[in-house]
Structure 1
Amino acid sequence: MPSERALGVAVVGTGRMGADHVRRLHHVVSGARVTAVVDIDAERARTLADAIEGCTAYTEPAAAMAAQDVDAVLIASPGPAHEAALLEALDRDLPVLCEKPLTPDAASALRVVEAEQKLGHRRVQVGFMRRYDAEYTKLKRLLDSGELGRTLMLHQRHRNPAMPSWFTEEMLINDSVVHEMDVTRWLLDQEITAVTVHKPAPTSYAPEGMSDPQLVLFETESGALVDVEIFGHCGYGYQVQAEAVCERGVVRIDDEHGPRLTADGRWGGRVTPDYLERFEDAYDREVQAWADATRRGETTGPSVWDGYAAAAVCEAGVLSQREGRRVRVELIERPALYK
C-alpha cells in the first residue's frame, strides 16, 4: 500500500557495494532510511549500524526481515547468497532491490521467478543500474522513437583498469559482460538468442589462467548483431561505451563526464577510475526510483525475468568461452506477469 512515511530499508551485505548503498540511502535518497544492516562479519555490520541513528546490525537476513522497522530489502551480498535472501523476502512479501546478478545461474534464477509468480505480483527489482544512466536513457529514447529506423548492430566496450586477484575468467562474463547483456535486451527490446566468445592474444598484464581481453558476440531475435569488448586489465581507467548502427544513422554514447581540454598542443580529458564513480548518478537515480515506487506500492524497473534472462545468456557465454564455439541461449516461455 502507498506510504507517506520514510521507507525502512534493510541492506543485506556490507562490502564495497553494500556500504555504498548504505551511504546513498542515508545521505542521498529521500523518503528512505537504513533501519538494518546485515553481514556475516558482525563487526563490520555493527560499525556501519553504529553510525546511523535507529539502525540495527544483524548477521542473518531473516532476522532483519522480521524486524518491525524493516519495510523493504536491498540485497548487495555476493551472488551465491542472493537466492536464499530473495526467497525469504518473497515469502514475507517484502519489496526488494537486488544487485546483479539476480542469482549465479539460470536454474536458481528460475526458482526466484517461480516464487514471485506464486505471489501474483512483482516484488523484486534487479540492479541493472545502466538503465538509469542519463546517457543510456537518452539512447533508449532515441532508438525507441524510430527516428533512425531499426538497429542493425550495436558496438559496446567495457574496460577496467585492473581486476581483483580473486577475479576469474568466467567472471568476465558473469560479473562484467552481464551489464551489456541487460543493456542489449533493454535497448533493442528483444532477447539474445546466441553467444560466441572470441579470445585474441592476451595482454601481458592479465593474471595466469585468464585470457584478457575478449570479444563477445550476441545474436538477437531480429537478427541484430552486438559485439562487446571486455578488457579487464586495460591499465588506464574505467570506460564504458556504446554505439548503435541503425538504418538511418549512427548514435554513440561514451564516458566523457568531464571537460575536454585543448591546450599546449594537446587535447584530452579525464577517465574515471572505477564503476562507482562512473555510474554514481545512475545508482542514485536507481535507488531513488525504487524507494519512490515502493512507497507508492509499486514495483518497477528490471524484473526477475530480466535477471533470469541475463543468467541464461551468461551460462551460454561461459560455455562458449570454455569451448570456443557458438552457443544458443535457452529460455523458458516468458510468464504473463512479465509481459
Structure 2
Amino acid sequence: MSGLLGVAVLGAGHMGADHVRRLDRTVSGARVAAVADPDTDRAKEAVAGIDGVSVHADVAAALDAPGVGAVLIASPGPAHEEAVLAALGRGLPVLCEKPLTPESAGALRVVEAEARLGRRLTQVGFMRRYDAEYLRLKSLLDSGRLGRPLMLHCTHRNVASPPGFTTAMLINSSVSHEIDAARWLLGQELTAVTVLRPRPSSGAPEGLGDPQLVLFETSEGALVDVEVFVNCGFGYQVRCEAVCEAGSARIGDEHTMVVTDAGGAREDVARDYLVRFADAYDREVQAWVDATREGRVAGPSAWDGYAAAVVAEAGVRAQESGARTAVEAAPRPGLYA
C-alpha cells in the first residue's frame, strides 16, 4: 500500500459510505486510511472488510492518523469549515462535498486561509463538471459552433425531500448545483436572481414552498432559469438546455433501459443522485486522486465554493422578498485568477 494515496474520509453517512466504497473498489491509486464519524458504529460498518483503516469519532484524530495524505469531506455542511481549515493547517489536499460551507462568510474564510498559504489545496465536489453529458455540452459551447449562449433552461427534480428540508434549501442545497454548472458552462458570473413561487404542490410537506422557478442574470447578459421541484414524486431528473445564437443543445433526457412487454413500454427513471451521477462521482474522485498524487488541484476551487454560496444567499433573499436581488461578492484573490 506504500504507493497509494491514503485518504481520510470524514463522514460515514449516505455520501461518505459511498465514497468509502468508491475509493476501495473503483478508484485507482488511493486507499481509505481513516474514517471519522461521531457515530463510530456507522463508520465501522462503512469500512467493514477493508484492511488497514482506522476509525475515529474525532476529525483531528483522523487527519493525524498514520498514512493519511489527503482528506475527503462528506460530513454535514455545518462541519465543513472546521474540517477544511484543519486540513489546510496540516497541508493536506481536500475534496469537500458541496457546500464548501453553508454560509458565504465561512467559505470566504476558507478562501482567505488558502490564499495565505499561497497555493490551492481545496477542491469542491461539484460533480456535474465530471458528468459525460455536461462535459459534451461544455465542449460544444466552448467551441463556438452554436454562437453566443443566450439562455440556459434547467430542471432539477427529486422524488421527495428529506426530513427537515426547508424552503431556503431549495436554493442553497438543490439549486447550488445549477449555480456552479451555469458559471462553469457559460464562463460567466451570476449577478442577480429572482425567484417566482407558484402555489405549492399538494405533494410538498406542510410549509415547504415547492416547486419554484429561479431566474439568474449573468455578467455578460445571458439568462439562466431553473425549475426546482424536490417533491415531484416520480424520479430524479436533471436537465439543461443551452439556447445560443445559432442553435441549441439539450442534455439530461433519460438514456436508460426501456422494457417492453405485453403491458407496453416502460423507461427507467433514476431515483436519486447517486444513481444518476454515479459515473460522474467516479470520474471526479479519480481525477482528484490523480491530481493530488501529482501535487496539483485541477477541479472546482474554494473560490467556486464561495461563489456558489454567495449566489445562493442572494437567491434566498430573493425568495423572501419576492424582488430581484443583486449578488454582492468579495473581490477574487489572485490565487484564483
Unmatched tracts of structure 2, length 5 or more = none
Contact 1:49 1:56 in 2 (8 A): no
Partner residue, 1:169: 167
Cα gap change, 1:34 to 1:255, in 2 (>3 Å): farther
Q: Distance in 1 between matches of 2:225 and 2:260?
A: 32
Which of 217, 220, 239 is matched with 2:218 structurally? 220
Partner residue, 1:333: 331
Code of the aligned partner of 2:24: H
Report deviation, 1:256.
Answer: 1.3
Q: Distance in 2 between matches of 1:227 and 1:194?
A: 12
Partner residue, 1:190: 188
SS state of the match for residue 169, structure 1? coil
Deviations 1:57-101 (A, max 9, x none): 011111111123100000000000000000000011100000000
Report deviation, 1:257.
Answer: 2.9
Contact 1:4 1:295 in 2 (8 A): no
Q: Distance in 1 between matches of 2:255 and 2:28?
A: 25
CA-atom RMSD in angstroms = 1.5
Code of the aligned partner of 2:61: A
Partner residue, 1:291: 289
Are 1:89 and 2:87 counterparts? yes
Q: Distance in 1 between matches of 2:222 and 2:67?
A: 48
Contact 2:95 2:125 in 1 (8 A): yes
4+ residue stretches of structure 1 with deviation over 3 A? 259-268
Q: Distance in 2 between matches of 1:165 and 1:338?
A: 37
How many percent identity over aligned positions?
64
Partner residue, 2:40: 42
Contact 1:242 1:253 in 2 (8 A): yes
Deviations 1:196-245 (A, max 9, x none): 11101111011111111000000000110110000011111000000000
Partner residue, 1:26: 24
Return the TM-score normalized by structure 2: 0.97
Contact 2:20 2:47 in 1 (8 A): no
Contact 1:255 1:271 in 2 (8 A): no
Code of the aligned partner of 1:114: E
Which of 207, 217, 236 is matched with 1:209 structurally? 207
Report deviation, 1:266.
Answer: 5.4
Matches within 5 A, 1:112-123: 112-123=110-121
SS state of the match for residue 295, structure 2? coil
Contact 2:23 2:31 in 1 (8 A): yes
Return the TM-score normalized by structure 1: 0.96
Q: Distance in 2 between matches of 1:131 and 1:285?
A: 10
Partner residue, 2:8: 10
Q: Distance in 2 between matches of 1:52 and 1:263?
A: 42
Q: Distance in 2 between matches of 1:293 and 1:15?
A: 26
